Structure 1
Amino acid sequence: MGMGFRRTARAWMSALACASLLGAASAAQAQQASNPEQEIKQAWAAAKAAAQPGPTAVTLRDQAKLNISAGEVFIPQPAAGQLMHAMGNRNNPDMLGLVMPTNGAEWMVVAKYEASGYIKDDDAKDWNVDDLFKSIKEGTDAANEEREKRGIPALEIQDWVERPHYDAATHRLIWSMAARSKGQPANEPGSVNYNTYALGREGYISLNLITARDHVDADKPAVQTLLAHLDFQDGKRYADFNAKTDKVAEYGLAALVGGIAAKKLGLFAVIAAFFAKFAKVAILAVAGFGAAIAKLFKRKSST
């Protein structure tokens, strides 16, 4: 195993210890992971072995193809789930994989597919963005009690980073919101969930960017490019919907912003909290998270 990976693994082990001391990992998670350092090491080993370097096209189940650019890698399941679990997240059967940069940037994109059925988009023209914001805030406040039980800091919703907008021609939705942990120092940037969706005949694929708020302007072009390079298979496109035979989702497009957002923010808050503490250690240990990822996958990408 290469020197870059060993230094990356050491940084993650140190970060996990740091996060545990600061309360980022819950007591329940600590009981489940009897050897968290080993879990991190194994997760990175699995990610490196499974990584598919760009440029390449990856198949997302029987639904779509996603073009991965040079300077990026796609980590499929089960390695992606193993890495997410090592970060303190529960396994999600809807997750397709992760996209990470190898060029020194500091972001991650989580790809998921939800077999919701065909989502009608006619409610987009009647959106009240203020009501959507209120819905997200109320849902997040209600979920804070459960977060605190798990040892995860309560969240405070700040504001839109990018207000919801939907392209009816391409059936793409984008919205972004900033959140921070309650009690987080004002001089520390909060986390950002930059959420993108592509609607299909049988459900939707989400490509959700995780990054720091002060990096979002620099990092969001990466996920926008991924969204543009996502193509549903013939027969799986939104336009292929057959009203006589196909399942229709129980919710409309607005639910992808208001109804599901609080849950997403809770998931990504765990990752963002872990990344934030990891980065502080990694900057000293391996010159930053992005550099660590670049070193980890450099040899694989060049083969």
Structure 2
Amino acid sequence: MKSILILLLSVVTFNSWAQDGIDSVFLQEYEEYYAYVDSLEEQLTYDSGMVLLGEYLATAALPEGYRYLNPQETNKILVDSWGNPPTTTLGMIVPAGVNPYSFEGWGVVITYEEDGHIEDEDASDIDFEDLLETMQEDVQDENEIRVREGYEPYQLGGWAEQPHYDPATHKLYWALELQFGHEDEAVSTLNYNVRILGREGVLVLNAVAGMEQFTEVREHMTDIQNFTSFAEGNKYSDYDPSFDRAATYGIGALVAGKMAAKTGFFKIAMAFFAKGWKFILLALAAAGAFIRRALTGGGKEKKDALS
């Protein structure tokens, strides 16, 4: 993301200086690219303040500095721009000043997994290092499916932040470092997850960004998990074993994504970023094809940024 942009800038700047000074054509195309992604964002309709998620399922009391995209607006990004298959979400939260279409853009996708009430007694007994090794082994099997379906393979590097469960709020969070693509061209990404346990399901808050954005994303995710919660009647404490359904897995499986095939964990939570790189490269091509110019060092002619 941002690191790739910096690399491209460095390559083009070097080539430009080697020819006859800073390449004004590239700089113009750089500005036009951001004008282009700004124009895309201007077509989005954001909400603010108290937001209802689902049919009285949960709420997000957005403070100043945060914006919300409803499910229809969210699909403009996830499906139309990032190249995901049609996805059912509860919307997306985007910090103010962040353009989700840009290189450094990111957002928090909200979904709901209604698999039943998850008991949390095992939370303190989980060996997360052993769990990580199991997850890394599972990734190898998942890659075979991903490649067949046209997605790039990925590797699970490790914890960017080890899982932590708060039994008082019934909130679980962790962060993973992932490498998408083949070894010689792998891109490191951050996958930051928050799970809020409820009466008969889990509220999923998922952010994907560049690893260099870890501190920024962690700070925002702390805020977001604090102002997002289940509505009355759907809270963890509302569970009634006489009437409500219990999940068949616990905290460990929730982190490991054992229900991947059922919930689309890998396809939605991880795959949308991998597919997103294709959109980014296409957007760059639309912004003047300056990647090709940077790598070849040729072509000084001005090109239409939006052609």
What is the TM-score of this pair, normalised by structure 1?
0.71
Partner of 2:17: none
Instruction: Mark the CA change 1:69 to 1:155 in structure 2 (over 3 Å): closer, same or farther.
Output: same
Instruction: Mark the CA change 1:261 to 1:189 in structure 2 (over 3 Å): closer, same or farther.
Output: farther
Residues in 1 aligned to 2:120 and 2:87: alpha-carbon distance in whole angstroms: 26
Give a deviation string over 1:132-162, Cα, whole Å, max 9, x none.
Answer: 1122212211111122123321111111101
Kept after mapping to 2: 8 A contact 1:57/1:65: yes
Partner of 1:89: 84
Deviation of 1:243 (Å): 1.6
Helix, strand or coil at the partner of 2:116: coil
Partner of 2:232: 234
Is 1:198 the counterpart of 2:196? The answer is yes
Instruction: Name the larger-Rg structure.
Output: 2
Instruction: Mark the CA change 1:193 to 1:10 in structure 2 (over 3 Å): closer, same or farther.
Output: same
Partner of 2:129: 130
Give a deviation string over 1:79-127, Cα, whole Å, max 9, x none.
Answer: 223431122212233x101112331463211101111221111111210
Map 1:5-84 → 2, pairs under 5 A: 10-11=36-37, 48-52=43-47, 54=48, 56-61=49-54, 62-84=56-78
Map 1:1-303 → 2, pairs under 5 A: 10-11=36-37, 48-52=43-47, 54=48, 56-61=49-54, 62-86=56-80, 87-93=82-88, 95-104=89-98, 106-185=105-184, 190-260=188-258, 264-276=265-277
What is the TM-score of this pair, normalised by structure 2?
0.70
Which one-letter code corresponds to 1:57 in the other structure?
M
Deviation of 1:277 (Å): 5.8
Aligned residues: 246
Deviation of 1:193 (Å): 0.8
Give the unaligned 5+ runs of structure 1.
1-5, 13-40, 287-303
Give the unaligned 5+ runs of structure 2.
1-31, 99-103, 289-307
Deviation of 1:278 (Å): 5.5
Residues in 2 aligned to 1:88 and 1:50: alpha-carbon distance in whole angstroms: 20
Which one-letter code corresponds to 2:86 in the other structure?
N
Q: Which has the higher contact order (CA 8 A, sep 6+)?
A: 1
Give a deviation string over 1:184-233, Cα, whole Å, max 9, x none.
Answer: 557x7501110001111121101111111111112221122110001222
Which one-letter code corresponds to 2:161 in the other structure?
E
Which one-letter code corresponds to 1:267 in the other structure?
I
Which one-letter code corresponds to 2:117 in the other structure?
Y
